[in-house]
Structure 1
Amino acid sequence: MWSLCAVLLVVVMLTVMIAWGKVQPLLAFVVAAMAAALMLGVPSEKIPGAIEKGIGDLLGSLVVVICVGAVFGKLIADSGAARRIAIGLVETLGPARMPVAMTVTGFVVGLPLYYNVGFVLMIPLIFSLVAQSGRPAVALGMPLLAGLSIAHGFLPPHPSPTALVAAVQADLGTTLLYGLIVALPTLCIAGPLFALTLKRIRAQPAPVFQGAPIPEHELPGAFASFATALLPVLLLGAFTLATLLDPALSRPLAFFANPLVVMLASYLVAVYTLGLGRGRTLAQVMASAQEALREIAPILLIIAGAGALKQVLTEAGVSAQLGAQLASLPVPPLLLGWAVATLIRVCLGSATVAGLTAAGVVGPLVESTGVNPNLMVLAVGAGSLMFSHVNDSAFWMFKEYFGLSLKDTFRSWTAMETLAGTFGIVFVLILSLLVG
């Protein structure tokens, strides 16, 4: 009980420091991490090392991908390619079908892409469509981001669902099929339907992706714009499909299928197709990259802070304690798996970490109760999406890119993730009545 109270106190402290005291988020995270470590009994000599490890681990996996994604997106915006794509989509689909198009785009892109990679890749397109259509940024972008997040939480080959399949001895193909059945109605509710309630939220998008207006006749061609912008998606999708069809290819393609390599290769292609090939000098293209990196630095610092807090809570053994306490309760197995993942998600922030940590609790549960293991993977996936808040790097990425207040971020992002997790478990329970 004390562990849960300590985590809640730290979350309140962090929120007050940032929202009321206007403390720089990285400093607030470090202070909150130290306070959490002391309250949870982490030896004082281990606290600095835990904070440094948390920052290093999270930034180590994200920093290059986010930076390359930022310069890639900036080049798409500055070259006019994003505007060309926006014009094409608006003309083809019409304003009335834009939310549906964004929902489908987010889900399809989210199938092969990690959430953070897909977010960075799609943000320039969202902002360009906002400028082209005049729609509110949050209401327009939320269906796409919901698609990315739900695919990340529910469906293989994303890390958490894939690891869960192995942990509970589920079948990958069956889990993917059931996952699609659960994910699609969940996405309709958490995406376009929920977005209808967000039209009054006014965003101030980060200027990094808002290039200077270019006359339409000077924009790059439609094929070059679409092909270059979607190249990372196409490459990752192709590599993922190839390894699914022939698992023996996973090792030879591991290097080329890495998101970092794909993003870097896509940026090099963009440098030519949208820069050098259109008469721009390398110095002009690199000036755009330098500006993008300056703009992205504050977001990286916030993500670093979230990593520090996550690591301290991990070192304290909070997730293991709470999971063990919950496992002793008389709760239906699927609901229990969802609740375990939810608590870990609230405490640690990362959906992937929540799913992977919950696997250690629900694995023996599946064996002892005989519950459908494929449905358990989805129940845990739903719980891993719940209550995204200030210890989740995705929360801060959404807030900073869209330029929102904490209140509006809770009202939009946190609510969307909670709807996805809530309706996800509802549809899992309904499906369990049909397939056992």
Structure 2
Amino acid sequence: MPLVVVGISVLVLLLLMTRLKLNGFAALLLVAVGVAVVQGIPVKEIPDVLSEGIGGQIGDTMLTIGLGAMVGRVMGDSGAAQRIADTLLDAFGPRWVQVAMVVTSMLIGVTMFYEVAFIIIVPIAFTLVRVTGANLLWVGLPMSIALSTMHSFLPPHPGPTAVAATFHASVGLTLFYGLFIAVPVGALIALLWPRLPFIKAMNPAIPQGLVSERVFDDEEMPGLGWSVFVALFPVVLIAGAAVTDMATSDESPFLHSVAFIGSAPIALLLTLLLAIWAFGPRIGRSLSEVSASCSSAVKAMAMILLVIGAGGAFKNVLVEGGVSDYIKDVTDSWSISAIVLAWLIAAILRVALGSATVAVVTASGVVLPLLAGSGAHAEMTVLAVSCGSIAFSHVNDPGFWLFKEYFNLSVIQAIKVRTTYTTVLSVLGLGGVLAAEWALDLLNL
């Protein structure tokens, strides 16, 4: 039974990494090979399956994470990140630093992928931790939770947008309704979770090499205008492309150019070039100093990228092994509410495969034939699938490893923190969707 294989593989992976202390990259690849053999993938095809999984995952994330880490380190070594952090502290005060992170993350996360926004904001979180002496999770966890909520619940992020197209739902209405659910639910969990005793007991250190350890005097730091401009530059490019895409369906060279400039890798590459000049020669730092900052960031990212790539290999083995097809066949005959079924299938696929994108696409294919006769609003069903796809993030989710490595957690600690918050977000999101569906029916909308 495929789900039993998934469960056993996760337990074996945890054993290798916690009891035997095997490196995460090696452990993930070893378990992926074992699962491929058990699932009946021909031995001669296993190397290609692993390579496709690593290549697909690294191809999606390497440019984003690598360029974002360079931008963050250049800003950190010049004092720009500290300038923004000090300004947030002045505006909100140390007591409300979590609110500052939630507001910032939600505004940026509406249009930016989780990984992109995470890489851009995390240097500011690290700097706030260093300046205030607060626990890393106290500052960083609200940021991650807010970004997870925006990325998973709302278009124009890829999962919800793809489901909206499948269900012929209005992207604009989906975003409108989704904001009323995502903002309160995300803010509640973001502010509550760091206060839980089992979270407060953890006190991880900032990973070395990802942020400058120097504390700058006021006159040494760049101005707030340039610091904020560079930090928001990729946000404006990516958000502009997303809004343009939502607002028009025309095909023209101009729109293609906007989409090109607004793609995450190009936006971050342009931001890096801007940061090199703005926080290098413009303020009297040599290009060799700025280049050293970029090199330091790349060295610190090497193992993180390897582990994320291996997570992609593990995910691809599960997909190629037919786990998603098995779940689709099992759930075809279930007779329950279309909204609950949509959420449940997406959640099961998320647990089994780790990929939120695969979960939402497969779940939408199962639910689509039921949608016409169910009476459910298409937009609410889109949100139900999207909420389900965030549940139970664990070791087969490459995003889990990004979270674990940046917050310097053990595997067990990451499960306690990330798996729990993503599951509660998903369940509360479903509750919000059901309440919104009831309200729309009551109002005859």
**TM-score category by the smaller chain?**
over 0.9
Distance 1:77 1:209 in 2: 9
Moved more, 362-371 or 262-271: 362-371
Deviation at 1:426, TM superposition (A): 1.0
Deviation at 1:96, TM superposition (A): 2.5
Aligned to 2:237: 235
Which amino acid counterpart does residue 358 of structure 1 have in structure 2?
A
Contact 1:341–1:355 (8 Å) recurs in 2? yes
Distance 1:208 1:275 in 2: 19
SS at match of 1:412: helix
- Structural mapping, 1:332-347, within 5 Å: 332-347=337-352
2:392 counterpart of 1:390: no
TM score, norm. by length of structure 1: 0.96
Distance 1:381 1:259 in 2: 22
Aligned to 2:201: 200
The total of aligned residue pairs comes to 435
Distance 1:17 1:413 in 2: 20
Which amino acid counterpart does residue 40 of structure 1 have in structure 2?
Q
Distance 2:171 2:44 in 1: 43
Deviation at 1:180, TM superposition (A): 0.8
2:370 counterpart of 1:365: yes
- Structural mapping, 1:60-79, within 5 Å: 60-79=59-78
Aligned to 2:58: 59
Contact 1:327–1:336 (8 Å) recurs in 2? no
Aligned to 1:112: 111
Contact 2:337–2:374 (8 Å) recurs in 1? no
Distance 1:229 1:168 in 2: 36
Contact 1:153–1:352 (8 Å) recurs in 2? no
Which amino acid counterpart does residue 354 of structure 1 have in structure 2?
A
Contact 2:32–2:313 (8 Å) recurs in 1? yes
Distance 2:107 2:332 in 1: 35
Aligned to 2:211: 210
Distance 1:231 1:415 in 2: 33
2:300 counterpart of 1:300: no
SS at match of 1:157: coil
SS at match of 2:328: helix
Aligned to 1:167: 166
Aligned to 1:222: 224
**Match of residue 406, structure 2, among 392, 401, 409:** 401
Distance 1:258 1:130 in 2: 30
Contact 1:387–1:418 (8 Å) recurs in 2? yes
Which amino acid counterpart does residue 17 of structure 1 have in structure 2?
L
Contact 1:130–1:137 (8 Å) recurs in 2? yes
Deviation at 1:41, TM superposition (A): 1.8
Distance 1:252 1:210, change over 3 A: closer
Q: Give CA deviations for 1:295-315 in whole Å, capped at 9, x if unaligned.
A: 100000001111111111111
2:431 counterpart of 1:431: no
SS at match of 1:207: coil
Distance 1:36 1:368 in 2: 39
Which amino acid counterpart does residue 94 of structure 2 have in structure 1?
P
Aligned to 1:253: 258
Contact 2:354–2:397 (8 Å) recurs in 1? yes
Q: Can you give the 5+ residue segments of structure 2 that lack an aligned partner in the other structure?
A: none
2:273 counterpart of 1:274: no
Contact 1:69–1:117 (8 Å) recurs in 2? yes
Aligned to 1:285: 290
Aligned to 1:43: 42
**Match of residue 424, structure 2, among 391, 415, 419:** 419
Which amino acid counterpart does residue 339 of structure 1 have in structure 2?
L
Distance 1:36 1:338 in 2: 27
Moved more, 97-106 or 66-75: 97-106
Deviation at 1:330, TM superposition (A): 2.9
Distance 1:129 1:36 in 2: 42
Contact 1:319–1:357 (8 Å) recurs in 2? yes
Distance 1:246 1:38 in 2: 47
Contact 1:58–1:303 (8 Å) recurs in 2? yes
Contact 2:163–2:364 (8 Å) recurs in 1? yes
Contact 2:210–2:300 (8 Å) recurs in 1? no
Deviation at 1:250, TM superposition (A): 4.1
Aligned to 2:326: 321
Distance 2:358 2:205 in 1: 31
Distance 1:193 1:22 in 2: 32
Distance 2:263 2:130 in 1: 32
- Structural mapping, 1:133-152, within 5 Å: 133-152=132-151
Deviation at 1:257, TM superposition (A): 1.0
2:23 counterpart of 1:34: no
Which amino acid counterpart does residue 220 of structure 2 have in structure 1?
E
Contact 1:164–1:356 (8 Å) recurs in 2? yes
Contact 1:190–1:417 (8 Å) recurs in 2? no
**Match of residue 381, structure 1, among 386, 390, 393:** 386
Distance 1:356 1:62 in 2: 20
Which amino acid counterpart does residue 28 of structure 2 have in structure 1?
F
Q: Can you give the 5+ residue segments of structure 1 that lack an aligned partner in the other structure?
A: none
